[in-house]
Structures are given as structure tokens and as C-alpha cells.
């Protein structure tokens, strides 16, 4: 064979500075690209052997990675199909560069490291970390070994090589600023990040680092629960066992496999750490799946593998990509099907796990209409007695027992059984059912219910006196006459409130209901809570206004009016403080004064 030097055919002069600049932030992906090429070479050989084109022999196919610290080289070696000199010319010198050209054309302004492999540019990513790249290769065909070198300019040399066995060595002469890639721990880390599930054995330091048959490539019927849980700990070594999982397997209209796990939600920091991982033919691509999965599905763990998720388009256009849309719809459907199945098969178990699923299901309902429709059947509501009811059924139940004079069914809830105890007592005394809605999304969820069920209102138990919360329209006879009602109202109004704005309202309630109570308008409170959660100030900055409800039918109302002026004032002050206290509103100096006063009166 004749030695050769030449110019790499490329119209865009000096491609490397451009590639380097674009991909600066993600140099490490060179290893993924070169190892995937080596894996491809092995897979291709396997295919050729299976159709009788060649005999690959008995030696198992494998890829190995070697560090030579002294010579400052990193070598990726495979015993795949190899290349002849002609093939190097064709695949490395010409083809890759036409890919490079298209790449530069398309991404003059923006680039994402993930697209590199998709432009036939994978091989050249080696130049991000190497001052010189060598290929020593021998084809499975009867052709002399070839040796190619290139220093990152557009010149190369091609000569007879030294390799005696079939396969390829890619030798990277690691440049000074990339010395980290000569460190064992760093290569180990990268291999386990990108190559953990590649289909051909990858060796580093004489040890295989990968699982060549991860469970998502197998049929669900071949797998046991144990297989799924142990794969989960392979993915997330420290995480507690998952609640359940979904095996995805789609071949039409797109290709997608994967296993999604439902985590046991412990705290949000963990949820952040264990992300869904995206693979493309078993090569790790990213765990930033923000544009591929709807946000609520990102609370899940596991892997998705799809050659059809277009990585060769910019991130911003991913969301509008029709394949991506179909994929997310499909996953969302699968997830709701699975939840429904679990609910139908073992309701008791489902209820036990509900607290871990609550946020997920509600998030899904709030962000995905289709998911919401399906979820109405299994979205559970828990009341203060710990009884669970499906959303749809609960609404029906409330329609029978808790309807007001205008035919609105009223759902009552508490977000804190302890601090709202007196309000809860009032509701249970009336025989009403009260839900526990304590989650971070429940304000939004309550809006969802009101918007999706006709003539249904949702009210927190401290939003009004119980008779007003579900107004049956029966006006009670007032024990106090009009004049006395005015008097008692004025009495409460005369006590100055330094911090809180109280609107005093006298209501003729049941004599056994609370004498005085603080309430907070449902609508305003909800708006305020929600904007506070979103960090918006529109409602958040508004002063909260509370109502002070006086039960004019309470036996003590008459006694209060008949007291002498001094005692009357003191008692009124005490009554307001007690009402504030039971809503956790009595604080600071007022609280201290209240305590001192109470002790003085002992």
C-alpha cells in the first residue's frame, strides 16, 4: 500500500475550532461517541456474521478503554469489523466532514452537544480533548491494516498500520487542558454515566463496566418483580424501593422502550436527584428530559430509550415536535392505565400508597386534561376519619348530603386538623363530612374541582360560620332584637385591632355554635395562597381581611350586653383574643398582654 498524505475534503475551512467552540461545555461526550462507534463496529460485525458474510469466530466481541499516563494517551479498542484504508477515506475523511458541514450550516448560532452523533460527527469529537488522533485498524475483509493520523488541522496521513487482528484502536493524544481524561476515576465516572447499559461488553481496568441486557430491552413476561426492583437500585443505589413500575414498549408510530418507576416520595431533594434517564439505543443521552416529558411525569424515575426522539433539533423546537408530542401522550396514557389497574386490582393497597401518589396524580390532573379525565376514577380524597373516596363518587355523595339553598353541592375541607379543630368540631356537629386537603397543590386542585364539576363549591371550614358555609336558607329566629344586635356589633367594633383588620358581623346561629369566631373569605384566601406560592405579589401583598363572626343566639350574648361597662369591655377584649388565638392570629405583644391579663384574673 502506498503511503498517503492529503487534505481532508471540506469546504468549510478548519472545522475543528468551530466544533470546539460549539461544544466547549460538554467535552466529556467524546468518550460516549467513541465507545458507541466501537459498539456499532461490533454490532455490524455480528450482523455480517449472522448472514454468513464473515465468520466472527469464538472470541467474544468487546470494547476496552486504556489509559497510558506516560504517553498521555487514551485508547478505545474494539474487535469489531475494522476499516480498510479505502473505508477510512470514505467514512472518516469524507463522510464525517460532510456531516460536519451540515452541522455548521445548521448551528452557526446555537449548538447542543447531543446532536453531535447525529451528524456523523461523533468521531471528530475526539479532537475536543486530543491534540492528535490516531486510528490503527484492520478490516474483517482481507485488506492490509491501516494507520491514520490527524492533528486537528485539515491534513491527515494514511499509511499501512500495525494491527494484526481484526478491529480498531482509536488513540487519543490527550491535550494539556484535558489532562483529567487521563485519570482513572474520571474515565470510570464517564463510562458509568454514558455506557452503563451498552449492548456490547465494555472493559476498563480489566473489568466489565456495563450491563449489556438492561431490563427495558427484555419482554415484561420474562421479568420478575425482583428484576425490576434490583434494576431500580442499579439506577439509583441509595433510593428506597419504588412503589410500582410501568414497562413501556411501543413500536408504532414510534419506537420507544423503557421502565418508569413510581418512587416512594420522601422529600423533594431526592426527587430532584433521581431523574428519568433518556437513552438512544442503550447509549445514555441525558437526564434533562424537561422538553420530552411533561413536568408531572418528571416526578417519576427510570429510563426511556428511543431512537426516535430527535436530538438533532434544537431544544426549543422539541416541544412542538410531533413525535415528542405523541411520546408524551402515550406515556401519560400508560401511566393512567397503570394507576387505574392498580386501583381496580387492590384498592386497599392503593389507598395505603396514596399519600405517595397524591401530589403526582394531582399535578398530572392540573397539567394534562386527558390525564385528568382518566384520573377522576382513581384520584382519591381522604376525609378527616381516614376514609378514602374517588373524586367522582365523592362529588355524588356531597350532592346528596351537603347541598345549599341554591342547589350547590358544597365540599368542605381542612388543611390542618389540629389548628382548625374548633371549626372542624362545628362541621362534624352538623353531621357534615370534611376532607383533608393538606398538600402543596390543593389550592389549585380545589379550583380544578370547581371548574370541572357543575354546581360544586369547595370551602375550607374556616371560611365562614358553618351555617353560612352550607346555607340551607332557613333563617333562624334572632334571640337579640335589632337594637341589641347593633349594640353588640358596636361593642366588638370598639376594641381596636392594631395589626389585623376585622370586619364584625353578627349572625343568628344555633345557640350551641361558637360565640365568636374568626373566618376568612374562601375566594380571597385561595387567591392569596396561590399567588404567595408562585411568588407573585398581586394578591400576596394585599392585607388579609378577616371576619369576626358573633353568634347573637349564643346564651352569653345576652349576658355580655347586661354587664357594666368596664366588665363588658374587658370581656369583649378577652373574647376577641380567644377567637384570634384559635386561628393562630394572636401574636407578639397582644399575646403577651393576653397571657398577663389572664393570670391577673386568676
Q: Which is nearer to ligand ADP, 168 or 420 (CB)?
A: 168
Comparison of 156 and 546: residue with beta carbon closer to ligand ADP: 156
> Of the listed pieces 87-95, 117-125, 254-262, 557-565, which binds Mg ion according to CB under 5 A?
117-125
586: DSSP letter: -
- Least separation, in Å, of the C-beta of 194 and ligand ADP? 14
Near ligand ADP by CB under 6 A: residue from 23, 61, 96, 200: 96
Cell readout for 503 is 370586619
Closest approach of Cβ 131 to ligand ADP, in Å? 19
- What is the smallest separation between the CB atom of 97 and ligand ADP, expressed in angstroms? 9
Q: What is the DSSP string of 125-139?
A: GGGGTEEEEEEEEE-
- Which of these segments, 50-58, 86-94, 119-127, 553-561, binds Mg ion (CB under 5 A)? 119-127
Least gap, CB of 52 to ligand ADP (angstroms): 20
Grid cell of 267 as nine digits: 422529600
Q: Which stretch binds ligand ADP (CB under 6 A): 115-123, 302-310, 462-470, 575-583?
A: 115-123
Name the residue nearer to Mg ion (CB basis): 31 or 365. 31
Q: Smallest distance from the beta carbon of 83 to Mg ion, in angstroms?
A: 13
Sheet holding 434-436, edge to edge: 434-436, 409-414, 456-460
* For Mg ion, the closer CB: 122 or 214: 122
What residues from 141 to 170 belong to the interface with ligand ADP (CB under 6 A)?
A: 168
User: Residue 426: which of 578, 577, 582, 587 has the closest Cα?
Assistant: 582
The smaller minimum CB distance to ligand ADP, of residues 132 and 383, is found at 132
| Per-residue burial over 42-63, b = 16 or more CB atoms within 10 Å of its CB, e = otherwise | bbebeebbeeeebebeeeebbb
- Edge to edge, the sheet with strand 256-262 lists 244-250, 256-262, 301-305, 277-280, 283-286
Window contacting ligand ADP (CB under 6 A); options: 34-42, 262-270, 360-368, 417-425:
34-42
Residue 242 as a binder of Mg ion (CB under 5 A): the answer is no
Which pairs with CB-CB distance under 8 Å and at least 24 residues apart come from 272-275?
Answer: 273/236, 274/235, 274/236, 274/239, 274/301, 275/301
Select from 45, 258, 38, 230 the least CA-distant residue to 126. Answer: 38
Q: Which does 38 bind (CB under 5 to 8 A by kind): ligand ADP, Mg ion, none?
A: ligand ADP
Which range touches ligand ADP (CB under 6 A), out of 74-82, 384-392, 404-412, 552-560?
74-82
| Residue 504 contacts residue 550 (beta carbons within 8 Å) | yes
Of 36-44, 318-326, 350-358, 472-480, the segment contacting ligand ADP by CB under 6 A is 36-44
**CB neighbourhood size of 138 (10 A):** 23
- Cβ proximity to ligand ADP, 80 vs 161, nearer residue: 80
Residues in the chain: 602
The helix/strand/coil state of 396 is helix
d(CA 340, CA 344): 6
User: Segment 40-69, which members bind ligand ADP (CB under 6 A)?
Assistant: 41
Residue 29 interacts, among ligand ADP, Mg ion, none and using kind-specific CB cut-offs from 5 to 8 Å, with none
Interface pick for ligand ADP out of 32, 37, 304, 585 (rule CB under 6 A): 37
Q: Are 265 and 363 in contact (CB under 8 A)?
A: no
Residue 285 binds what, of ligand ADP, Mg ion, none (CB under 5 to 8 Å, by partner type)? none
d(CA 351, CA 364) in angstroms, rounded, equals 18
Q: Name the residue among 6, 43, 45 with its Cα closest to residue 139.
A: 45
Helix ranges restricted to H, 76-224: 85-87, 96-106, 184-194
Cβ neighbourhood burial of 121 (10 Å; 0-12, 13-18, 19+): buried
Which bin fits 205, alpha (ψ -120 to 50), beta or left (φ > 0)?
Answer: left
Rounded to the nearest whole angstrom, what is the least distance from the CB of residue 170 to Mg ion in the complex? 11
Q: What is the x/- site pattern for ligand ADP, positions 368-397, by CB under 6 A? A: ------------------------------
Question: How far does Cα 164 stand from its chain's mean position?
Answer: 51
Nearer to ligand ADP, 61 or 437 (CB): 61
Q: Are 77 and 115 in contact (CB under 8 A)?
A: no
At 539 the three-state DSSP class reads coil
User: In the set 28, 33, 467, 529, which binds ligand ADP (CB under 6 A)?
Assistant: 33
Neighbours of 6 (CB within 10 A): 12
Residue number, nearest CB to ligand ADP? 122
Cα 274 to the chain's mean position, in Å?
9
Minimum distance, C-beta of residue 120 to Mg ion, in the bound complex (Å): 7
Are 372 and 452 in contact, with CB atoms under 8 Å apart? yes
Compare residues 30 and 231 and give the one whose CB is closer to ligand ADP: 30
Which residue carries 418483580 as its cell? Answer: 225
Q: Does 37 bind Mg ion (CB under 5 A)?
A: yes
User: Cα–Cα distances in Å, from 232 out to 130, 209, 239, 336?
Assistant: 36, 17, 8, 21
Write out the binding residues for ligand ADP, residues 543-572 only, by CB under 6 A: none
Q: Choose among ligand ADP, Mg ion, none what residue 364 binds, the Cβ cut-off being 5 to 8 Å by kind.
A: none
Report which of 156, 161, 169, 168 is spatially closest to residue 144, judged by C-alpha positions: 161
Q: How far is the CB of 413 from Mg ion (least distance, A)?
A: 56
395 makes contact, choosing from Mg ion, ligand ADP, none, with CB < 5 to 8 Å by partner type, with: none
Residue 131 in grid coordinates = 491534540
Q: Which stretch binds ligand ADP (CB under 6 A): 113-121, 140-148, 317-325, 408-416?
A: 113-121
In the complex, the smallest distance separating the C-beta of residue 100 from Mg ion, rounded to whole angstroms, is 13
DSSP class of 121: -
Mark out the alpha helices in 391-440 (DSSP H runs): 391-401, 421-429
Q: Does 121 bind ligand ADP (CB under 6 A)?
A: yes
Q: Measured from the CB of residue 393, what is the shortest distance to ligand ADP in angstroms?
A: 55
From 49-57, 111-119, 181-189, 192-200, span contacting Mg ion (CB under 5 A): 111-119
Residue 83 binds ligand ADP, judged by CB under 6 A: yes
Binding residue for ligand ADP, selected from 22, 30, 103, 123, defined by CB under 6 A? 123
Q: Which residue ranges make up the site for ligand ADP (CB under 6 A)?
A: 33, 37-38, 41, 78, 80-81, 83, 91-92, 96, 117, 120-123, 168
Q: Give me the residues that bind Mg ion (CB under 5 A), please.
A: 37, 117, 122
Amino acid at each position: 500500500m502506498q503511503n498517503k498524505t492529503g487534505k481532508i475534503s471540506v469546504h468549510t475551512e478548519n472545522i475543528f475550532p468551530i466544533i470546539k467552540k460549539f461544544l466547549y461545555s460538554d467535552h466529556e461526550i467524546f468518550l460516549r461517541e467513541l465507545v458507541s462507534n466501537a459498539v456499532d463496529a461490533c454490532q455490524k460485525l455480528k450482523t455480517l456474521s449472522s448472514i454468513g458474510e464473515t465468520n466472527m469466530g469464538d472470541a467474544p466481541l468487546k470494547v476496552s478503554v486504556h489509559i497510558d499516563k506516560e504517553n498521555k494517551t487514551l485508547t478505545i479498542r474494539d474487535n469489531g469489523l475494522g476499516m480498510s484504508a479505502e473505508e477510512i477515506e470514505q467514512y472518516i475523511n469524507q463522510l464525517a466532514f460532510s456531516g460536519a458541514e451540515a452541522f455548521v450550516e445548521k448551528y452557526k448560532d446555537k449548538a447542543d452537544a447531543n446532536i453531535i452523533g447525529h451528524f456523523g460527527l461523533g468521531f471528530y469529537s475526539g479532537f475536543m480533548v486530543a491534540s492528535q488522533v490516531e486510528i490503527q485498524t484492520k478490516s474483517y475483509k482481507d485488506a492490509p491494516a491501516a494507520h491514520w493520523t490527524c492533528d486537528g488541522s485539515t491534513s491527515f496521513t494514511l499509511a499501512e498500520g500495525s494491527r494484526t487482528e481484526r478491529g480498531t484502536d482509536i488513540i487519543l493524544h490527550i491535550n494539556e487542558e484535558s489532562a483529567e481524561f487521563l485519570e482513572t476515576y474520571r474515565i470510570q465516572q464517564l463510562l458509568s454515566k454514558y455506557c452503563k447499559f451498552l449492548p456490547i461488553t465494555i472493559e476498563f481496568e480489566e473489568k466489565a463496566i456495563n450491563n449489556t441486557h438492561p431490563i427495558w430491552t427484555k419482554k415484561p413476561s420474562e421479568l420478575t418483580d425482583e428484576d425490576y426492583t434490583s434494576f431500580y437500585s442499579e439506577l439509583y443505589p441509595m433510593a428506597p424501593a419504588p412503589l410500582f413500575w410501568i414497562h413501556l414498549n411501543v413500536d408504532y408510530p414510534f419506537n420507544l422502550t423503557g421502565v418508569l418507576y413510581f418512587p416512594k416520595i420522601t422529600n423533594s431533594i431526592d426527587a430532584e436527584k433521581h431523574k428519568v434517564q433518556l437513552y438512544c439505543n442503550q447509549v445514555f443521552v441525558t437526564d434533562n428530559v424537561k422538553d420530552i416529558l411533561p413536568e408531572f411525569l418528571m416526578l417519576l424515575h427510570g429510563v426511556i430509550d428511543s431512537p426516535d426522539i430527535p436530538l438533532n433539533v434544537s431544544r426549543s423546537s422539541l416541544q412542538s415536535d410531533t413525535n415528542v408530542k405523541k411520546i408524551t401522550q402515550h406515556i401519560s396514557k400508560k401511566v393512567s392505565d397503570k394507576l387505574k389497574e392498580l386501583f381496580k386490582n387492590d384498592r386497599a393497597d392503593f389507598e395505603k400508597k396514596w399519600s405517595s401518589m397524591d401530589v403526582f396524580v394531582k399535578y398530572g390532573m392540573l397539567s394534562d386534561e386527558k390525564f385528568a379525565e382518566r384520573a377522576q376514577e382513581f384520584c382519591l380524597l381522604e376525609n378527616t376519619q381516614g376514609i378514602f373516596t374517588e373524586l367522582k363518587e365523592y362529588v355524588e355523595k356531597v350532592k346528596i348530603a351537603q347541598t345549599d339553598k341554591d342547589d350547590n353541592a358544597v365540599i368542605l375541607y381542612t388543611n390542618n386538623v389540629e389548628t382548625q379543630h374548633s371549626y372542624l368540631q362545628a362541621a362534624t356537629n352538623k353531621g357534615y363530612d370534611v376532607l383533608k386537603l393538606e398538600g402543596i397543590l390543593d389550592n389549585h386542585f380545589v379550583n380544578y374541582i370547581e371548574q370541572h364539576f357543575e354546581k360544586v363549591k369547595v370551602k375550607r371550614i374556616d371560611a365562614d360560620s358553618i351555617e353560612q358555609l352550607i346555607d340551607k336558607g332557613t333563617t333562624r329566629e334572632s334571640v337579640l332584637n335589632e337594637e341589641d344586635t347593633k349594640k353588640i356589633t358596636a361593642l366588638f367594633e370598639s376594641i381596636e385591632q392594631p395589626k389585623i383588620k376585622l370586619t364584625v358581623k353578627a349572625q343568628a346561629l344555633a345557640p350551641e355554635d361558637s360565640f365568636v369566631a374568626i373566618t376568612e373569605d374562601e375566594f380571597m384566601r385561595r387567591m392569596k395562597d396561590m399567588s404567595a406560592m408562585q411568588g407573585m405579589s398581586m394578591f400576596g401583598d394585599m392585607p388579609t381581611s378577616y371576619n369576626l363572626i358573633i353568634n347573637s343566639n349564643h346564651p352569653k350574648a345576652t349576658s355580655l350586653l347586661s354587664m357594666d361597662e368596664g366588665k363588658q369591655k374587658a370581656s369583649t377584649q378577652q373574647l376577641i383574643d380567644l377567637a384570634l388565638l384559635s386561628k393562630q392570629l394572636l401574636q407578639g405583644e397582644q399575646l403577651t398582654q393576653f397571657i398577663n391579663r389572664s393570670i391577673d384574673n386568676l
